[in-house]
Structure 1
């Protein structure tokens, strides 16, 4: 099942460390099958507020996403970003191909009754 790494990065001034992070991150993704799906594109907010930028990476599995994030290669460059771009980073499993939100709704409705 596909898994994702998401980062909500808040606005900040450009910094040379962030440029270095960007130059080095791709090499940390490759061994784990990771790839950029969204990388700083404008966010169209329809509900709520979203200050900052969205970065979304895809991985073959949640284990691959965890292994990438915890890898020595990635941990070496994390401070280059984190020290200058505050934000939140999440790892999350995607849904199975046969995911059925209507069935989830029916289960929820039964639990509420």
Structure 2
């Protein structure tokens, strides 16, 4: 079952963050990741959203998502993100198609 990662990122140092961006896709694609959305102009419908960037990515499974996130390659690259931004990052489990009732 697909697993999604949603990240709310508050970028404080764009120059330092660009080092993270420069290496991201090469590592990400090795782990079967699919970029679904990157947005710096989200429309707030409710609540508060303190992020300058919101990212939505997909992996075939939670195992794949964790393999990417906890990999030595990604964690080394992520040091640039940690130094230049703050973030809330969560995993969300996908739903089975056709067989799920409306959960909302």
What TM-score range do you get, normalising by the shorter chain? 0.7 to 0.9
**How many residues are paired up?**
102
Structure-1 separation of matches of 2:27 and 2:100: 31
Give structure 1 stretches of 5+ with no counterpart.
106-113
Q: How does 1:57-68 map to 2 (within 5 A)?
A: 57-68=57-68
Higher strand share: 2
Give structure 2 stretches of 5+ with no counterpart.
none
Q: In 2, are the aligned partners of 1:11 and 1:51 still within 8 Å (CA)?
A: no
Deviant stretches of 4+, over 2 Å: none
Higher helix share: 1
**Cα RMSD between the aligned structures?**
1.6
TM-score by length of 2: 0.87
Q: 1:11, CA displacement in angstroms?
A: 4.3
Are residue 88 (structure 1) and residue 102 (structure 2) matched? no
